[in-house]
Structure 1
Amino acid sequence: MRHSLPLAPQFYVTAPQPCPYLEGRMERKLFTALQGDGAQALNDGLSKQGFRRSQNVLYRPSCSDCAACLSARIDVSRFKPSRSQRRVLKRNAHFERRATSPWATEEQYDLFRRYLDTRHADGGMADMDVFEFAAMIEETPIRSRVIEYSDTRSGALIAVCLTDMLDDGLSMVYSFYEPELARSSLGTWMILDHVEIAREAGLPYVYLGYWVPGSDKMGYKAQFDALEVYRKGEWERLQDPSSYDPDTHPLSTDPIAEQVANISFPDSRGT
């Protein structure tokens, strides 16, 4: 199935498949190719409308009777770490950051495999080989960086995040870390460090992907202060997480043609 607008990217819809977040549900995605001279402007514009990047594709959940997945971002100017997050920062003070070009290495892949085998052995990426990993890291038509984190005491690589640079923030595309360092809360720590990177760069937001009420694996995102979610076509401050309804309803999602018609695109100058 294909839906398009004149002078706008063409959009497609994936076939329904089991939802990775909410048991017993089916997911469907609206997506478009990210390519050409306007790729950066398109990524900037659609990220503000709940889309995420995967290699050279932009996608957004578009399930027929469920609207539980909400794009989430941290408002850097309002963010204040919690007491437990301050402890994480103090505990990990001996780790250091290094930003590099989006280039895959064997060391990254070894860490990635340990992470998947321990944390997501039954996930959709469990069978990813080194060539697919390299494609995930390197196939980017926009401004992207690989943020590596190392232990200054041992020199070991302990965490990695593929990060996109948007005109209004940083988008954490995919991150992984040393599973044996559970006490270090590396997932939380990388988000806290990205807030600091954005603050240093004068960027207002850190995009975290999707928060899904009712999903334990996505619940951690609601623990961050100054969180905003994209809901019903606009960004709003996250209220009480328990007030968000993950239930299905046949009118939860607009028809695909209406969704595409309501997407705003950058003009020919990328503004």
Structure 2
Amino acid sequence: MSDLSSLKLFATAPHPCSYIKGEEATTVFIDPEAEVDAELYSELSELGFRRSGGHLYRPHCVNCQACMSCRIPVNQFRPNRSQRRCAKRNQDLDICFIDDISSDEHYALYEHYINTRHRDGDMFPPTREQYNAFLSREWGVTRFIEYRSQGALVGVAVCDQLQTGLSAVYTFFDPEMTPRSLGVFAILVQIEQAKRMGLAYVYLGYWIRECRKMAYKTQYRPLQILTNKCWVQLK
């Protein structure tokens, strides 16, 4: 167990919330100079922290507590009808765990995904520097899952192996393959991988009840949310 009391926290200035119109957001993050390892990262994840590149952060808004960490208890998860259909549609894909996604092929897929799906987001326009910083390998825990169709790269999932589960960091895929629901499939693969590794959870980051973009997370049941420092099942 790490001594969390010695960690320094820094806070951003209030800024417009990206998810709820009219709200102001504040983010706290761990001192970038702190010595972080897999154990500390895992403990902070249990407290609602999330990784972006080499930074660990969580929302800390004065007037709003809408952002809640959520996770799937994988041994209790049962796919719904839509998720079972998604898994069946993608049975033909080749799935491979790889150590590096720095190739031109991987970046080209990411660039196409951001330019097509997220032109209104914080990651537009994409750059190679931003890509390397955001999806970097940190503290020896990051894994990359590659999806190919007849040899062609169609998707990549980035996840971190924590002590209690896998943390789904980011997924990008060929936007022309919408019927495959590759984002859903990537989560299903991580759930199965966590089971094989004897891990209890897949962490999905933050969920906001009022945010339509995050509504998909409630399709994975049961879903646990962190509230008042306790993980409870979402009703």
Same fold at TM > 0.5: yes
Deviations 1:86-120 (A, max 9, x none): 00000110112111124422111111111111111
Q: Is 1:104–2:102 an aligned residue pair?
A: yes
CA positional deviation for 1:38: 4.4
- Structure-2 change in CA distance of 1:105 and 1:35 (3 Å): farther
What is the one-letter code of the residue matched to 1:204?
A
Matched residues in 2 for 1:20 and 1:155: separation?
37
Matched residues in 2 for 1:205 and 1:194: separation?
10
- Structure-2 change in CA distance of 1:80 and 1:155 (3 Å): same
Deviations 1:136-172 (A, max 9, x none): 2235234111111111xx2111111111010000001
Matched residues in 2 for 1:35 and 1:231: separation?
29
Matched residues in 1 for 2:69 and 2:100: separation?
24
Corresponding residue of 2:120: 122
Corresponding residue of 2:85: 87
Three-state SS of the structure 2 residue aligned to 1:87 is helix
| Structure 1, 75-84 or 142-151: larger mean CA deviation | 142-151
Note the residue ranges of structure 1 that are not aligned, 5 or more in a row.
240-271
Matched residues in 2 for 1:60 and 1:97: separation?
31
Q: Is the 8 A contact 2:12 2:28 kept in 1?
A: yes
TM-score normalised by L of structure 2: 0.94
- Structure-2 change in CA distance of 1:216 and 1:87 (3 Å): same
What is the one-letter code of the residue matched to 1:100?
I
Q: Is 1:208–2:204 an aligned residue pair?
A: yes
Give the structure, 1 or 2, with the largest relative contact order (CA under 8 Å, sep 6 or more): 1
Instruction: Give the alignment partner of residue 224 of structure 1, picking from 199, 220, 223.
Output: 220
Three-state SS of the structure 2 residue aligned to 1:180 is helix
Task: Give 1:1-271 correspondences, 5 Å limit.
Answer: 8-33=6-31, 38-151=36-149, 154-239=150-235
Deviations 1:43-90 (A, max 9, x none): 000101111011221101111100011111000110000011100000
Note the residue ranges of structure 2 that are not aligned, 5 or more in a row.
none
Matched residues in 1 for 2:227 and 2:93: separation?
36
Deviations 1:121-144 (A, max 9, x none): 010001231122122223523411
What is the one-letter code of the residue matched to 1:91?
R
What is the one-letter code of the residue matched to 1:84?
S
What is the one-letter code of the residue matched to 1:140?
E
Aligned residues: 233
Q: Is the 8 A contact 1:33 1:56 kept in 2?
A: no
Matched residues in 1 for 2:35 and 2:7: separation?
13
Alignment root-mean-square deviation, CA: 1.7
Matched residues in 2 for 1:222 and 1:6: separation?
31
Three-state SS of the structure 1 residue aligned to 2:6 is coil
Q: Which is higher, the Rg of structure 1 or of structure 2?
A: 1
- Structure-2 change in CA distance of 1:34 and 1:200 (3 Å): farther
